Amino acid sequence: MVDSLDNNLRATSGLWLPAILWEQMREDVQARLPQEACGLIGGLRPRALQVYPAVNALHSPVRYRMEPEEQIRIFLSLEKLGWDLLAIYHSHPAGPDHPSPTDLAEAAFPESVHLIWFPHTGGWACRGFLIQDGQFTEIPIYLVENHPKNG
């Protein structure tokens, strides 16, 4: 049974992200310095349910590419759970706070939110974007109360 909250979530654009998942990403971004961190977020649109950190195969501070085997493992897990790929996250350790020209050129999964983490006032901040046809549009990220993985 779908409750009214779920109906409201589905009618609103943006990504609904539990605080615990926000914190997992922030910790991953910090731990992978000086490299760009990267990973995927799965859930039931638009509600995020799990963060899947991945190794940056390029080991670069200015580019990322997820390890292919890890990416496949994550996609298989999402398929098994019946979840959607809601978002792709990565960090820009030295900025900018929006998609770079490389991000725009290499973006895949236009229906997924691209979360970009960047340094901000001694910590980290994050913005969400849809990237389609080499252009980006910012979309809202709603931090919500934590909830069980099964929604």
Q: Please, what sign has the CA dihedral across residues 75, 45, 136, 63?
A: negative
Q: What are phi and psi for residue 75, nearest 5 degrees?
A: -60, -40
* Annotation marks residue 36 as catalytic: yes
Rounded CA separation 17/43 (Å):
10
Q: Which residue, among 21, 14, 106, has the nearest Cα to 66 in the 3D structure?
A: 106
Q: Which residue, among 80, 5, 89, 104, has the nearest Cα to 41 in the 3D structure?
A: 89
Residue 1 burial by Cβ neighbours in a 10 Å radius (0-12, 13-18, 19+): exposed
23, 27, 36, 67: which one is catalytic? Answer: 36
Q: Return the SS3 of 113.
A: strand
| Active site residues per annotation | 36
